[in-house]
Homo-oligomer: A and B are copies of this chain.
């Protein structure tokens, strides 16, 4: 392993779907992720990572799922069952609280907010890959939700595109612990370059001196 695997000038943090519907009490999906989220200490870990990442100078990318609108998928030949369910519930509804950023994780000046993705990959049908290149990024650290859907699919696309990819096992959640197990013990090792805990990640982040 290189001495500084997450050099600030070529590492990006990808924060996937920091919406109220996923991360906030009262959100439409929060009841489904709450159990695992609390077991792994999700919110505290996300806060810790974001603070450390911003201190280190690592570039933050917000990678948002499509915000639901009435009529979504009505004219598609074959939306997936999962997409149809999301449309029925209007997950991350555009213009509503659930589709707003959880305030403490809202983008800050200098963050890159990528185009919304329609499925589970933050790369597919968006400008994520190009924006990463225009920022000199070669290594990705993924946090956010869900471990076995958007995180896993975005991570897999990242590897296929040629990036170095790191998962953080307690900075994500899923609808059940067996989904977490599938993401981090069964599937993750077949594609990811590193699968770390929040503490292990922090130990490897670059520190930026006060003089910077």
Q: Which residues of A contact B (CB under 8 A)?
A: 75-82, 110, 112, 115, 118-121, 124-127, 129-136, 138, 148-149, 152-153, 156-157, 159-164, 176, 178-179, 182, 186-187, 189-193
Given contacts A115-B126, A119-B191, 17 further A-B contacts (CB under 8 A): A76-B134, A80-B159, A80-B193, A81-B189, A81-B193, A82-B189, A115-B115, A121-B156, A124-B130, A130-B160, A130-B162, A134-B162, A149-B191, A153-B156, A157-B160, A178-B186, A182-B187
A80 to B194, CA, bound (A): 9
Say yes or no: B119 contacts A149, CB within 8 Å. no
Contacts of A134 in B (CB 8 A): 75-79, 162
Give the Cβ gap from A130 to chain B, nearest Cβ, in Å.
Answer: 4
